[in-house]
Structure 1
Amino acid sequence: MFYTFMSRVVAPILRLIFRPRIEGAENVPLYGPLIVASNHLSFIDSFIIPLSLPRPLTYIAKADYFEGRGLKGRFVRWFLTTLGHVPVKRGAQRAAMGALEQAVEILDNSGAFAIYPEGTRSHDGRLYRGRTGVGWLVLASGARVLPVAVTGTEKIQPLGASRPRMFGPRPTVHFGPPMDFTHLRDLPPAKARRLITDEIIETIQKQSGQEYAGTYNDRANNTAKPPGTTT
């Protein structure tokens, strides 16, 4: 009921406001388990990507987003919770592991689950080295990965801005062909996670045209990660 309301009433209004350009829509599988892996330039990415994807999408989201105060905080909490977003606290490894285990459940039920391999938003527009949680998720679920590159969202809501610019610059969402990693499943898990993650980041970089930083995003140093995903 809620997804129908969002997709038929709210989403068209938001599309008129943000007017995202969608490239590679033909690459999006409409059915089956799917990990949606994207670069991350702005808080609003978590709204722009679902608006551009023709199927329901669930995210892991910072617990901070669920703990806001006032009317805005209540609205964001209601919106994210109703969409099925999974909160995770920074620094809480057990919570992070639990969130990824919930992601596996979603994928096992042929759902689509979104993740930002960099761990947090880029503060300078560069693309950072991926955290291997996405590799863990690929190996645990066997799902294909849809690489996504967003551009222009940092102009709509820059890092630190409290609200997005309405009717501002148009963002672009580029969907690449789905990636399959079944050929890596027989490798040692740590090596497979690293190879999967690096290939995903490399693909996103080619789509987005971002400069590759080659290091982890320091803002994500305290982000909780499943065991074995620190390399």
Structure 2
Amino acid sequence: MGESFVLYKALQLTVVPAMRAAWRPTIEGTQHIPESGPVILACNHLSVADHYFLALTTKRHIATMAKIEYFQRSGVKGRLIGATVRALDQVAVDRSGGRKSAMALGPSEQVLRDGRVFAIFPEGTRSPDGLLHRGKTGVARLALATGAPVVPIGMTGTEKVLPFGATVPRLAKVEVRVGEPLEFSRYEGMENNRVTLRAVTDQIMYAIGELSGQEYVDTYARRRPVKKDEKKDD
């Protein structure tokens, strides 16, 4: 955690001010993120840029899941990316589904048990159509297993900053709205109950939708097919 803390703080001192100056994002409700103790930030997912704008909501170190491919790439650029996500203390996740994807919940749970901040995008991948899609229950499992409150976050405009296939960020109006913490202690010990997990996840997604203003669809988001002229980054 020492090295990741130093690197993260260095980025906060350099990249964060630059982002604020360039995009002038509207950020509301940051007082809802606790200054200490475990907390889950649950956000809608429109763009790779979501990760960067999340960093503007709190001075605390935010751990997130990063696709396992980032940790396994070869070549100079690939190794640099792998070293960076490791240095930032991110959690590798295999997105092939099933047991492999579930394995990432163990390290994610430990982040929370250590009293830290963990951010998750319940949709599992970027929205391919701008709609808010059905959330996967991992966020509920983490909340019920650790007792950590869930702070819903809704973003708008980030899909214009880094659209699918884009590698150079564009200037666009971005808004980030942070909601009041959701607390699920009444479901303690029910992290393996599928009905409870779905109910909790749906409540979280409803709160996110209220903040983002997106239309909700009760279907899982599918990864958008990558065209030949686009660079696969999600």
The answer as to whether partners of 1:39 and 1:149 remain within 8 angstroms in 2 is yes
1:38 aligns with 2:53: no
Query: 168-177 or 50-59, which moves further after superposition?
Result: 50-59
Q: Tell me the alpha carbon deviations over residues 77-104 of structure 1, each in whole angstroms, 9 at most, x when there is no partner.
A: 3332211111112226444233211111
Structure 2 residue aligned with 1:180: 183
2:114 partner letter: N
Query: Separation in 1 of the partners of 2:216 and 2:197?
Result: 19
Query: 58-67 or 143-152, which moves further after superposition?
Result: 58-67
- TM-score, with structure 1 as normaliser: 0.86
The answer as to whether partners of 1:20 and 1:52 remain within 8 angstroms in 2 is no
Structure 2 matches for 1:85-164, cutoff 5 A? 85-91=90-96, 93-164=98-169
Query: Separation in 2 of the partners of 1:121 and 1:4?
Result: 27
Which runs of 5 or more residues in structure 2 are unaligned?
1-5, 225-234
Structure 1 moving runs of 4+ over 6 Å: none
TM-fit CA distance, 1:68: 4.9
SS at match of 2:223: helix
Structure 2 residue aligned with 1:64: 69
Query: Separation in 1 of the partners of 2:18 and 2:78?
Result: 21
1:192 aligns with 2:196: yes
The answer as to whether partners of 1:21 and 1:173 remain within 8 angstroms in 2 is yes
Query: Separation in 1 of the partners of 2:90 and 2:199?
Result: 27
SS at match of 1:173: strand
Query: Separation in 1 of the partners of 2:178 and 2:97?
Result: 32
Cα root mean square deviation, aligned = 2.1
Query: Separation in 2 of the partners of 1:105 and 1:52?
Result: 22
1:192 partner letter: T
- The 3 A distance-change label for structure 1 pair 58 and 163 is same
Structure 1 residue aligned with 2:231: none
Query: Separation in 2 of the partners of 1:18 and 1:76?
Result: 25
Query: Separation in 1 of the partners of 2:15 and 2:86?
Result: 16
State the identity as a percent: 40
The answer as to whether partners of 1:42 and 1:154 remain within 8 angstroms in 2 is yes
- TM-score, with structure 2 as normaliser: 0.85
Query: 75-84 or 106-115, which moves further after superposition?
Result: 75-84
TM-fit CA distance, 1:2: 2.1
Query: Separation in 2 of the partners of 1:174 and 1:73?
Result: 33
Structure 2 residue aligned with 1:203: 207
| 1:81 aligned to which of 83, 86, 90 | 86
2:126 partner letter: R
1:181 partner letter: F
Count how many residue pairs are aligned between Structure 1 and Structure 2: 218
Query: Separation in 1 of the partners of 2:160 and 2:173?
Result: 9
1:24 aligns with 2:29: yes
Query: Separation in 1 of the partners of 2:206 and 2:89?
Result: 29
- The 3 A distance-change label for structure 1 pair 186 and 22 is same
Query: 81-90 or 197-206, which moves further after superposition?
Result: 81-90
TM-fit CA distance, 1:196: 0.7
Structure 2 residue aligned with 1:217: 221
The answer as to whether partners of 2:145 and 2:189 remain within 8 angstroms in 1 is no
Q: Tell me the alpha carbon deviations over residues 155-175 of structure 1, each in whole angstroms, 9 at most, x when there is no partner.
A: 00112223322xx01311110
